[in-house]
A and B are shown apart, each in its own frame.
Chain A
Amino acid sequence: MLLYTLKRLLYVTPVAFGVSVVCFLLVHLAPGDPLSAVLPADATQQTIDEMRAAYGFDKPLPVQYLIWLWHVLHGDLGTSIATGRPVAAEVGRAVVNSLILAAVATAIGFTFGTLFGFVAGYHRNSAADRAASALSVFGVSVPHYWLGMVMVIVFSATLGWLPPTGAGPDGSGNWRPDLDHLRYLILPAVTMSVIPTGIIARTVRALVADILSQDFVEALRAKGMDERGVFRHVVRNAAPTALAIMGLQLGYLLGGSILIETVFAWPGTGFLLNAAIFQRDLPLLQGSILVLAMFFVALNLLVDVMQTALDPRIERA
């Protein structure tokens, strides 16, 4: 198990390298000059050249990449063009906020998703199955920014129960685990959890139905296992896949929540990316994309290792 984990860690290195290249190039593929956004329109050619040299944009791309990589490896993601603050600090704070939001949303999604999935998988083609399926289709297909706005209208504007935007009463953008800040988390987290709920419910339903149709379930009943005993086996067989889906969902939510973070003005990575794109803040964009991509890589690694721990066939086969 330990050996396997080390081996997987080794495999991650080339993947991470590839990711860094793509992150770097992706931003350079985009049209437009990053400096034009910060420089005044009447800046002289000399000022432009000086700025280019200061940010290193005058060197050939491979050299730029190596310099950038060197700094990244030392924990330096550069300086934001728009704010002048270090990218690492900006991204770090945003990642923490996004992580909190994504983790809570995934936890809600996993709880309800597995619940609906098990009920539907156990009672296929019953009314409960159809209700659960309808709910999950709704979860996957409803536009989330729209759902977010509806939530704001209902729970903030009309009922006045919860704050509509921001991460806390002081507006600092630093979320803290206390009751005041928790109230700010509820609306975005619930809105966001609709996605993983739907996806996990559908996956678990298919999983459970498949497991229940396998021969070993009949064999379990033949040796006298009652429904509770059979259920334990079903859970244990469904767990690796369900956990993998949950891990991937967490990854998607970490990076793919631009719309929800924007609707709720949640100071996470989505919000930050949105700002970086509109301000053509190249270092900030590169830094946040890189961090998010690395999160995905790490998450995949974690899911792999967890699956191996749960399903003996993966490692040994």
Chain B
Amino acid sequence: MKKIKLPVTRIEGHGLITLRLGEDGEVAEAKFHVTEVRGFERFCRGRTIWEMPGITARICGICPVSHLLCSAKAGDAILAVRPPRAADKLRRLMNLGQFVQSHALSFFHLSSPDLLLGWDSDPARRNVFGLMEKHPELALDGIRLRAYGQKVIEALGGRKIHPAWAVPGGVRSPLSEEARDALAAGLPEAMRIVQDAISLYEEHLDDWAEEIATFGNFPSLFMSLVAEDGTWEHYGGRIRFVDADRNVVADGLDPASYQEYIGEKTEGWSYLKFPYYKEAGYPEGLYRVGPLARLNCCDRMGTPLADEALKRFRALADGKAVTSSFHYHYARLIEILASLERIGRYLEDPEVLSARVRAEAGINELEGVGVHEAPRGTLFHHYRVDEDGIIQWVNLIVSTGQNNLAMNRTVRQIAQRYLTGREITEGLLNRLEGGIRAYDPCLSCSVHAVGRMPLKVQLFDQGGALISERARA
């Protein structure tokens, strides 16, 4: 009877893929459309800077923590303060918890059914419940690992989803000794689970050779934050671009000056913007972000077990950049390992129990940029405020957006390989979703809902007439 309207719309929900055939009957064009509108950049105007972490956290239910932390960082810039050291460490700790839970969700709950039950298996069973039947131990492990990441978030923010904990200037509450000890106790099991998963992935590499070759396997630029010394980074550091040979294209870029090197293009057929590396132009400036990009960009992981894993990862491409988006899965698992190792370090650091966690200040800058690494890639929050701290203008560059060009390219590559004739087959549809899912875009949660998958594929001939359509409602 009544529509419930909530201002939390973003892109999760509905995806549409259109394929157009050329004169030769081969796929000439493939587009991945995001058909839902966001509006956050507009309706945040007029709100106060102190509300922004809470508002932007609502952009997503999987990655509220990412927006929360990034928004708080933009707030730090506007207050012109450096959060106390303990607050910095605690924010990092929460972000690592976020990496663990989000990556675990992506790999175990959303993608492992494709990987382990097979691309042509029954879609009604190709989900986490099907996984439970075939590989119950793995499914439970995945749930436990994700729960561990959630516990890290809860220990700090008081709740697992949408904790309103990070604020401009720091964080609201410190970590208690009991919570720290509980987290430390759960760490060994989480480490065991992710190491098992990495072994499992490495054992299956040969089985997935064909998908690895076609799921977004193309040379491109990669972008991520890296620490001053080139180590893998998830919260601070500077921007680095590398190319497919892992040559550093640009390094030490100030994240706050992102507009100097990142352009944003809009296309009439998608509500998602298309960021690109300005120097290379559009669309040649296609770059990828996220786990794959971070591992390609960094010099080392900075923790012993993750560094061992990075060596094996690098060996896939003889030390060059790993260019198949299929290996986002691999990179994701290695990042879980790195995150857990770092969580262990923070839990041993007595400073995380410090009660000095919040710097107070007024409005000291009228513009601020917050940048950090969300699980899916580099996230930018850019605000302008008036003298009273009221938001005048907002620009958000989210990870899924930055992979937009790459996802489109991936869809085309998969369509060219798996489309036979003029019919969209089940196998094609499965692989198209699998290709998109490798990027773990924000719409993944709905794309892999049990028994329902609102992804739709349309095939057009060269004249623009619809010749085949397939969707699961």
Is A bound to B? no
